[in-house]
Amino acid sequence: MKERVAVLDADIFVFKVASAAMKEIMFDEYVVSIGDSAEAKVALDNWFEHVKKKLNADRFILAFTGKKNFRYDIWPEYKSNRKDQKKPYLVKELVDYCMNNERYNCVLKDNLEADDVVGMYMTTNSKSCLYIGVSEDKDLLGVPGWIFNPQKDALAHKTEFGDALAFFYTQVLTGDSADGYKGVSGVGPVKAAKYIDKAREEAEGDYEFITKGWGTILKVYEKAGMESCDAIQNASMAKILWSGESAGNFDTRNLKDYWIKRYGR
């Protein structure tokens, strides 16, 4: 029996716990934020153990975002809509607490976001471990493998290759306002899903869907007066990395290589 390993997008849960621990006190016209770091650490410990128990996991890994992010090199305005968002000051202390805690296995990779690390584990073909991604970020639906969203799911569930690819391709068309990049003007989730669903139906299996779906995206972009480089740029920001992928511009060859290694031709 494989060891069950929960891989948590720790950025999200540290932020939530830090936010919940904060209190604001008014001093005349000034607002001072305070937080109890000891209580926050206990709450974080309890949350991690709760997730482990919920998933019947043997252990868990905490994934954190590195100092840099390759997506900024592709498009400097990536997540620029969040630049004025202030992080609770307890975030850094809680991250340091996790990183320096010998009980926790923390993974932080420079140039990658936490969900990239989660995605790479989820798509690792291990004979000894079953990796379960844990995140409240919808982007992980674009990754094939086992996923658990504590906000929505009662149990972990498996996203199949074709469903993950369809989610990702749809997002390339719509863009993502949460991450601050736009897709094709006039193409919302419903219209984008129709384009991608049609391509999937016409494809003879998921391997062919890789090429046919991407071809559909390029046609939609061209019809809107956009270039293929625009589609590649958006895909590079939308794509959560899978096992074997490197940070950089999106390339369908990576998807094909993954398919061949996992499923054969």
Compute the average pLDDT of residues 197-209.
96
φ and ψ of 65, to 5 deg = -75, 140
Lowest mean pLDDT among 28-32, 33-37, 66-70, 258-262: 28-32
Lowest mean pLDDT among 22-36, 164-178, 188-202, 247-261: 22-36
pLDDT for res 181:
81
Q: Which pTM does this prediction carry?
A: 0.91
pLDDT digits (tens, 9 = 90+) for 34-84: 568 888 999 999 999 999 999 999 999 999 999 888 888 887 777 766 666
Interatomic CA distance for residues 70 and 248, integer angstroms = 7
Q: Quick check: 31 pLDDT over 60?
A: no
Q: Quick check: 28 pLDDT over 60?
A: no
Q: Quick check: 259 pLDDT over 80?
A: yes
pLDDT for res 81:
66
Could you give the residue range(s) of every CATH 3.40.50.1010 domain in the chain? 3-159
Which of the two residues, 71 and 212, has the higher pLDDT score? 212
Question: Mean pLDDT highest for which of 35-44, 142-151, 173-182?
Answer: 142-151
Cβ partners under 8 Å of residue 196, min gap 6: 166, 169, 170, 173, 213, 216
pLDDT for res 83:
66
Interatomic CA distance for residues 82 and 241, integer angstroms = 22
Compute the average pLDDT of residues 174-203.
92
Give me the percent of the chain exceeding a pLDDT of 70: 92
Which of the two residues, 195 and 181, has the higher pLDDT score? 195
Interatomic CA distance for residues 254 and 1, integer angstroms = 30
Q: How confident is the model at residue 173 (pLDDT cuts 50, 70, 90)?
A: very high
Interatomic CA distance for residues 221 and 173, integer angstroms = 8
Average pLDDT, the chain: 90
Give me the percent of the chain exceeding a pLDDT of 90: 73
Interatomic CA distance for residues 139 and 238, integer angstroms = 8
Interatomic CA distance for residues 123 and 40, integer angstroms = 32
CATH architecture of the domain 3-159 equals: 3-Layer(aba) Sandwich (3.40)
pLDDT for res 33:
58
Q: How confident is the model at residue 195 (pLDDT cuts 50, 70, 90)?
A: very high
29 within 8 A of 38, measured Cβ to Cβ: no
Sheet holding 105-111, edge to edge: 105-111, 59-69, 3-9, 129-134, 145-148, 157-159
Could you give the residue range(s) of every CATH 1.10.150 domain in the chain? 161-263
Interatomic CA distance for residues 153 and 167, integer angstroms = 18
pLDDT digits (tens, 9 = 90+) for 101-122: 999 999 999 999 999 999 999 9
pLDDT for res 140:
96
176 within 8 A of 79, measured Cβ to Cβ: no
pLDDT for res 150:
93
φ and ψ of 227, to 5 deg = -100, 165
CATH architecture of the domain 161-263 equals: Orthogonal Bundle (1.10)
Interatomic CA distance for residues 148 and 92, integer angstroms = 25
